[in-house]
Structure 1
Amino acid sequence: MNMLPFPETPAPEDEAREKGRLLFAGPVTFVKGVVAMSGLPPADRVEVCFAGRSNVGKSSLINALTGRKTLARASNTPGRTQEINYFALGEERYMVDLPGYGYAEAPVAIVAKWQALLKSYLAGRQTLRRAFVLIDMRHGVKAVDAEILALLDRSAVTFQVVLTKADKINRAEREATLAQVRGALAKHPAAYPELVVTSSEKGEGIVTLRAIIAGLE
């Protein structure tokens, strides 16, 4: 029995796997980009959101989940995503791409506006069932992640850490990162007690993450 704190999520059972496959095999459409709380679509279905510092691989992960290469635009320019971007998974789920955080290139006033919108969304969206916080497997939890994790705690939003770019490091580095992340998450009451390790390029963890999203009620 795995007694590690924050173990990796086990592979989904066949039923959960199929539920996840069907959800993401169905229509996935871009709904709108939101720049103010007043622009949010009706809160009429379960939604999940993806948060992460700039260049953590968020767009690549969303594209891998949906099997669509250009659904979420990837960019090497930190802070490119300036809006809360809504995607509909059929008629039963919203998948929300939040602005990246931790960027240095964007003007201070722009950063402040994005951060305020992010805080309002996380604190005020009642249909938000889980936030997936993306952490680069090569770096682990950094100081820049601390504010978003604390905000999720204060907002009582359950968040689950998704480690990205697992294909970029070796086994020893992987274990070291997992240990660091587990230690960091022990301080956060809103943290969901399982980790998802992914590689958008190799497909690792994608089936598991689809099943998790499809299973949220």
Structure 2
Amino acid sequence: MTLPAGGLLEARDEGERAALIEAGRLLFARPWDFFTATQTLEHLPPPEGIEVALAGRSNVGKSSLTNALSGQKALARVSVTPGRTKQLNFFRAEGQPLVLVDMPGYGYAKASKLVKEDWQGLMFDYLRGRPNLRRVLLLMDARIETKSSDRAVMTLLDKAAVPFQLVITKSDGVKPNDLAKRLADVQALARKHPAGHPLVLVTSAETGAGMEELRAELAALAGQG
């Protein structure tokens, strides 16, 4: 069966949805490894494979989500200090076309600007100039309302013409009614941005909720070559 290139939104029936879920499982069935990191454009690895970057406010759960996706507890280092990640970290599995890129968090309270200078410099240059970057997963904390820094980064992604998909994290930390309201708010936000993907995913690294769907979306991207 040919997988829908548009992911879960284009799945016409349960058979295609199940095929996407299975493709996502296989994508992360092999061990994933950290293979490089950089703080400068000059030291970026060659643009090989399909890159998907994870972005979000400091402490939104990027490292935890990366670990949950891969099923490995220590693939990405989880820091208790918000804003600690200062570089682009690259992860991949042998024989798989997908490369995950963990980006520095933004909007940390101690930062002097709305979006830190590294996001205006290195990060924006990476987003705008990376030929094999297919999508940014922009993570939003289920427990925290959308911040001005989140909106600023969405505008930046629009400007860079980089497709992004909003992913709600830490869904286990809120009540169902509050989660439904948060989801509706984030979906409305995605519709306001030209680069925004219409499908918003709800996840929890703690319980594994939403991981099958997120892996399926990544498998669809990886299948585009």
Does the TM-score normalized on the shorter chain lie above 0.5? yes
**Does 2:55 align with 1:61?**
no
Which of 45, 48, 63 is equivalent to 1:44?
A: 48
The answer to whether structure 1 residue 142 and structure 2 residue 147 are counterparts is yes
Aligned residue number for residue 5 of structure 1: none
SS state of the match for residue 45, structure 2?
A: coil
- Residue 79 of structure 1 pairs with residue 83 of structure 2: yes
Distance in 2, matches of 1:188 and 1:21, equals 30
Q: CA RMSD in A?
A: 2.0
**2:17 match:** 13
Checking the alignment, whether the CA contact within 8 Å between 2:31 and 2:70 is kept in structure 1 is no
State the identity %: 46
> Does residue 190 in structure 1 map to residue 195 in structure 2?
yes
Q: How do 1:1-217 residues align onto structure 2 when only pairs under 5 Å count?
A: 13-91=17-95, 92-105=97-110, 111-216=116-221, 217=224
Q: Secondary structure at the match of 2:28?
A: helix
Render the CA deviation track for 1:101-141: whole Å, top value 9, x for unaligned.
Answer: 01133577xx4235411111111111011110000011242
- 1:70-117 CA-partner distances (Å, limit 9, x unpaired): 111111211111100001132411100000001133577xx4235411
Task: Tell me the SS of whatever aligns to 1:71.
Answer: coil
Amino acid in the other structure paired with 1:65: L
The gaps in structure 2 that reach 5 residues or longer are 1-7
User: Structure 2 CA distance, aligned partners of 1:70 and 1:83?
Assistant: 18
Give, in angstroms, the shift of residue 179 of structure 1: 2.1
Q: Give the whole-Å Cα distance in 1 for the aligned partners of 2:118 and 2:178.
A: 36
TM-score of the pair, normalised by structure 2: 0.87
How far 1:184 sits from its partner (Å)? 2.2
Residue 13 of structure 1: how far off its partner (Å):
1.9
User: Do the aligned residues in 2 keep the contact of 1:84 with 1:97 (CA within 8 Å)?
Assistant: yes
- TM-score normalised by structure 1 residue count: 0.90
Q: Which stretch of the first structure deviates more once superposed, 155-164 or 175-184?
A: 175-184
